[in-house]
Structure 1
């Protein structure tokens, strides 16, 4: 494994907690036609709220309404039925929504991305079927991320999607590792690496372990489109160290083990997603880490 990947892995272990990519969590499907109509009315009224700084309760209510709306759309047998329910008043197919009500159904605002408490690496927001119901059965989702100086989107996989990433601002170093068995000249390829600048893009195959790293002292922004409305995300280091300690020891080369208390320390320090790291970048940008 290259020293660059090792540094990124260690940076992921050492950095503080940050924001994970949102995961799909569907509500129980409502079976009553009356309840369904009510849920659409609730979703409309909640999403029409225009407060610039919504309270936590407002945000929770809006998220719940979006989940219910997505759940209701899944029940519809055809795409036409889904769009009728989504884009007409009360879902009755008689009057097209207008103004803010319509905008709330067809526009996703990536400006709402917020870094997690204590995040050092940046912020990321994924529009998927869970928070943007119009994506139901469209097999597409999109994330927009801002990586701060030396920020890393730590190694992860998308179990249900291939990702196409495009840099909008700054520079991104990325890499991926394919499944077991991919080799060149009978040698396992440890990493396929790419350097990207603004308006350049690359692909991460479905299930491949991949990462994005901002090697500069300025923010970098990228857009990632995935061919699933529920792509899922699994962070490699974080989920690996969540396994039983004996399994972690065995995978790392038992009997040369990491003591159980040290594994717990690793677990406590792992970021959820966005971290900062790579020694030279941190020194160049004069970034202090704990």
Structure 2
């Protein structure tokens, strides 16, 4: 079983990147004429101005899902307009950032699916290629429950806060998932997923915040002052102020190809 340390070191050596595609679901504006006027698109900033200041939940849903304010009240959107406001597509073919090889993660959150505002939930679907890794990261505002829906023996690990175990004991909670098995990553825990197989894997992650946030551990650690990084790692002969910028620049943004053994096993 790969430890988080193995994953971080491998991501340093093998790097690749991905980006979370922004599927902006612009809904339709409320018209004020009588009878109800056709729905017209509005910009995302305008949507959030209304959603975040709506006095009640029903007012927020009216802003998203209705149009017009005639004598009989607002009218529900229809057809494609209603679909755009209520359906999010997790595009398996979404393009990651240039150079990505490990896969792609597509997130539905308050930033790209406005109907989630105030609902306290979001979802990410991850498409991991053979030997792909979702490198160690944390969600500062959410607990995650992750279910594998395609693949087998997808490895995972997480580390909680300090003092779970003794000072010289391994604190990593590690395991693997088969299809339709799930695990949980508590809020703030460092965690990763690794598809140590020669076939693609797909997972669905539910998070209990519409704005969970993500912070990649290695990438953001190496963004710190190089002297602090040197002192923390304690490996001046390997990573020091002379080469820290080179290491930091080569880190993957998120999903990375890892495990030379896996790649060799799969003939890559």
Given the two structures, how large is their TM-score scaled by the length of structure 1?
0.80
Q: Distance in 1 between matches of 2:49 and 2:192?
A: 32
Partner-residue secondary structure (3-state), 1:89: strand
What are structure 2's unaligned runs of at least 5 residues? 23-28, 32-38
Q: CA deviation at 1:10?
A: 1.4
Q: Report 1:186-197 matches (<5 A).
A: 187-197=168-178
Q: CA deviation at 1:159?
A: 0.3
1:183 pairs with one of 151, 157, 165: 165
2:184 pairs with one of 203, 224, 234: 203
Tell me the equivalent position of 1:270.
Answer: 251
Q: CA deviation at 1:262?
A: 1.3
Given the two structures, how large is their TM-score scaled by the length of structure 2?
0.86
Tell me the equivalent position of 1:104.
Answer: 84
Q: Distance in 2 between matches of 1:223 and 1:158?
A: 15
Deviates more, 1:104-113 or 1:78-87: 104-113
Residue-by-residue CA offset, 1:176-219 (whole Å, 9 max, x unaligned): 001011116x7543310111011000000000000000001111
Q: Are residues 67 and 272 of structure 1, via their aligned partners in 2, closer, same or farther at CA, if it must alter by over 3 Å?
A: farther
Q: Distance in 1 between matches of 2:215 and 2:139?
A: 6
Q: Distance in 2 between matches of 1:191 and 1:115?
A: 29
Q: Report 1:14-53 matches (<5 A).
A: 14-21=13-20, 45-46=40-41
Q: Report 1:135-174 matches (<5 A).
A: 135-171=116-152, 172-174=154-156
Q: Distance in 1 between matches of 2:49 and 2:112?
A: 11
Q: CA deviation at 1:70?
A: 2.8
Q: CA deviation at 1:282?
A: 1.2
Residue-by-residue CA offset, 1:216-270 (whole Å, 9 max, x unaligned): 1111000000000000000000000000100101111276572323111111110
Give me the CA root mean square deviation: 2.4
Q: Report 1:269-288 matches (<5 A).
A: 269-287=250-268
Deviates more, 1:219-228 or 1:85-94: 85-94
Tell me the equivalent position of 2:63.
Answer: 85
Q: Are residues 139 and 22 of structure 1, via their aligned partners in 2, closer, same or farther at CA, if it must alter by over 3 Å?
A: farther
8 Å contact kept, 1:7–1:277:
no
Q: More helix per residue: 1 or 2?
A: 1
2:49 pairs with one of 59, 71, 85: 71
8 Å contact kept, 2:21–2:95:
no
Q: Distance in 1 between matches of 2:129 and 2:2?
A: 22
Q: Are residues 68 and 145 of structure 1, via their aligned partners in 2, closer, same or farther at CA, if it must alter by over 3 Å?
A: farther
Partner-residue secondary structure (3-state), 1:159: coil
1:126 pairs with one of 107, 131, 134: 107
Q: Distance in 2 between matches of 1:173 and 1:134?
A: 33
Q: CA deviation at 1:285?
A: 1.2
